[in-house]
Structure 1
Amino acid sequence: MSRIQRCFKSLASAGFFRIQDGKTLELISHGREYAKLLQHHWLRLRPLAAHVGAISNSSSTTNAQRFSFPKSQQFRANFQELLEVHPRKAKCPTLLKHQNTCSSSDSNPLFTVRSPATLLTTDFLVEPHRALEHFYNIQRESKIWWMRVSSNPIRYRIVPCELGDDLNPKNYQAIDIRSSYGDAEEVTVEQLSLVKFDDDKNFLLPDARTGESVQPTVIRSVIELETSTCALLLDGCDHSRDAQSLLLNRVLSPYQCGIACVESESELSEDLADLCLHLKHVINHAGLRLCQGSGFALTKDASKLTEHLLESDMLGVPYTLVLNEQTLKNGLMQLRSRDTRLAEAIHISDVPDYLLNIFKN
């Protein structure tokens, strides 16, 4: 079994996706939670964007559609919505964000994702004389974003796409941002395309600097959410560690914290359970995502605790609070890190501020 196949098996057993026909992936439970967080992170990216267009269905994306989208009914409706609903943002340069569903792409050799797929699309409307400058800047920004949300930043590279003889490079450009998994091929996580408008008086915006009407050039970014989610999950699982664990970005992990308790003395088990419930309430109130189920695990011995921590590692939980009978006496507990597998002592009064500072920084 190859390294990547072992990762697929581990992620499937942990409840992130199910595998159909050996290659088709379908997100389930934990995988869907991770996809929602990635989608929310994309929504907060570039906050000055105008959000337009409701989620709708469309056909699958093709290379031809990468360059023909300015003629589509959806693009025209989004442009009109920009003028009518967001007049203050209707200047050049500006950007639009919208989402829609489509048939999933089968262009990735490593795996395919079960349809329908969610497309996260950003349209940059830029000054035509600075279009290439914007295009190169957006490439760099996008690649840096993928590197930041990944556990292995060196996976990502920018790959120029062939345009074909019928397209003029002065009017069209295209690149893919791909995540590499060594001999196991690559996955396209984002497509960037530049299209220069034909003369069309219906697509004019005032230049933000001069106020003069210009016909903007469009740079479109498209992220297929489910494919990118699976790529990032695979990235977090494909590492050189001996033990299995999922090294997800701690801000985007479906669960940020867990609670584990070792109750060796039965007469104290009720008090420890109450303390766990209190910590669960405190952590939830702070807005941190607690591990699934009851939010805490009660174990009888060290071996069961180790087993629980390994399960938490495979869910990508960055930190686990470990309590025992001594916690009831002195308020001290262990904060165990998924990444280092080391633990440090913290006082119950430092929860959740200590954790919030970790995730903030």
Structure 2
Amino acid sequence: MQALRSRSQDLVKFLNHLESFGFIRVIGSEKAETLRFGPAGELVLHNLRNEWLHSTTTYREMNVFPYHTDSESCTNSEHNYQDLKSAFSVAKFLSGDSPPFGIAYSRTTKERDNHDPLYPQRHVELKQIIFEKPQVSKQYFYRHLQQRKRWWRKFAADPGRFSFGDVIRISESSIAEEAQILVTFPWGVHEVEKVRYRGCEDLDNLPIEEQNDFTVLYDRKRSLPHVIESYFSLDYGVLTYMFDAYYERKSGRPVLKFHRKLSPYKYGFAAGSVSSAVAQELYDMSRMICLDLKKEGLGCLFPSPQEFGKKGLETQLAKHDALGICYTVVLNEGSLKSGLCGLYNRETTLQEQTHISKLPEYCSLIMKNY
């Protein structure tokens, strides 16, 4: 990756940080062939995919059904309606044979046209395909474009990085239009997602016998629906949010300011240097609290017995900041008697005091909010 690293000192710093903390490693020389995720990176990838599924299938004004195919496509824009036929049939049946409805579609693909050297050639593509009535399909396209930009901004440390490109006609002979959602970094402006209005051109180009499988009922007649789609690389999306999250405090200390829904670990544990006996008691207490939080479904990082209560508190908090941990439960010798602890906030660097018995309920409440 020497050619990539020579592009920007900021980029070098980001990539080194991500590699050293087990987030991601870019594989390739002149261009990224693939992105290899470490343990922390896998958790961020899992969280981003879940948020995409939530926004596309749960939090929607229509029925959208998840679907995954193992067949590997060779280009991002390539449609394989043969793969989609069974999913379309089920979606149509469950939606009463009438649009609108959609499919949230994932597959592994090879991208050959993207010129960003950090965009992986082989990646997981997440795609929404919406089947809509012709008379409202164009309106939906523009509304969907706004929804997708808001989605990217919702999880960003700097929402202003994300913007629209121009809506353009794909070709002179086509009614299809597309627009890009772009992200701006010091080393350039890059596409993170594409939204397309395709009309019914793709379905019209199918053989007649196959077109019948994709007809729907509206206005008391059977016809082909119009198609609106949006798609992005899950791998590149994770890398984008990692770059967006990177920040340095005035002291030069690196921080990953992940949105709490994307952070690999929501809570960590720390205690300043104390005697060996007290450190062991605090360590046992921290593990008990950690298990209670895990029972609430909260992602927590167990404390390290080599660091907890033995290294300085700032050293431990710096490590948690570098990992993007949202909150750190801070214990001290007084916690053993009073049951009180501090809850360090990565964003504000302040601690609020609370009782350990209230932590599971309070920490769950914090994570429910976006």
Question: Normalising by structure 2, what TM-score?
Answer: 0.85
Alignment partner for residue 48 of structure 2, among 20, 38, 49? Answer: 38
Other-structure match for 2:207? none
Residue 11 (structure 2) aligns with? 4
**Structure 2 gaps, min length 5:** 1-7, 205-210
**Pairwise CA distance, 1:7:** 1.4
Amino acid corresponding to residue 204 of structure 1 in structure 2: T
What secondary structure, in the 3-state scheme, does the structure 2 residue paired with 1:298 have?
coil
In 1, Cα distance between equivalents of 2:354 and 2:295:
19
Q: 1:145 to 1:52 in 2, by over 3 A?
A: closer
1:249 aligned residue: 259
Cα displacement (A) at 1:118: 1.0
Task: Name the structure 2 match of 1:194.
Answer: 197
Of 101, 123, 127, the residue aligned with 1:121 is 127
| CA distance in structure 1 between the partners assigned to 2:360 and 2:305 by the alignment | 15
The 5-angstrom pairing of residues 197-236 of structure 1 reads 197-198=200-201, 199=204, 200-207=211-218, 210=219, 212-236=221-245
Q: What amino acid is the match of 1:12? A: E
2:118 to 111, 117, 123: 111
Question: Aligned pair 1:98/2:112, yes or no?
Answer: no
CA distance in 2, matches of 1:261, 1:293: 9
Cα pair distance change 1:201/1:313, threshold 3 Å: same
User: What is the rounded CA distance, in whole Å, between the counterparts of 2:360 and 2:257 in structure 1?
Assistant: 22
Distance 2:306 2:348 in 1: 21
What is the CA RMSD across the aligned residues, in angstroms?
2.5
1:196-225 deviation line (CA, Å, top 9, x unaligned) = 214544422123xx5543421100111211
Taking CA–CA contacts closer than 8 Å with sequence separation of 6 or more, which of the two structures ends up with the larger relative contact order? 1
Are the equivalent residues in 1 in contact too, given 2:126–2:231 (CA < 8 A)? yes
Q: For residues 77-129 of structure 1, what are the alpha-carbon distances to aligned partners after superposition, in whole Å with 9 as ceiling and x for unaligned?
A: 4323434xx433542111111211112456152513262x1111111111111
How far, CA to CA, are the matches of 1:164 and 1:218 in structure 2? 14
Q: Evaluate the alpha carbon distance shift between residue 239 and residue 137 of structure 1 in structure 2; reply closer, same or farther with a 3 A threshold.
A: farther
Checking the alignment, whether the CA contact within 8 Å between 1:50 and 1:95 is kept in structure 2 is: yes
Write the deviation string for residues 251-305 of structure 1: whole angstroms up to 9, x where unpaired.
Answer: 221100001123512332332222112101111111110026769951325xx32
Distance 1:123 1:30, change over 3 A: same
C-alpha change, 1:266 and 1:203, in structure 2 (3 Å) is closer
Change (3 A) 1:166 1:244: same
How much has 1:52 moved relative to structure 2?
A: 5.0
**Seq. identity, %:** 23
Secondary structure, aligned partner of 1:135: helix
Aligned residue pairs total: 346
Instruction: Name which of 132, 139, 147 aligns with 1:133.
Output: 139
Deviates more, 1:261-270 or 1:148-157: 261-270
Contact 1:258 1:295 in 2 (8 A): no
> In the alignment, which residue of structure 1 is the partner of 2:328?
320
**1:49 offset after TM fit, Å?**
3.6
Show the counterpart of 1:331.
339
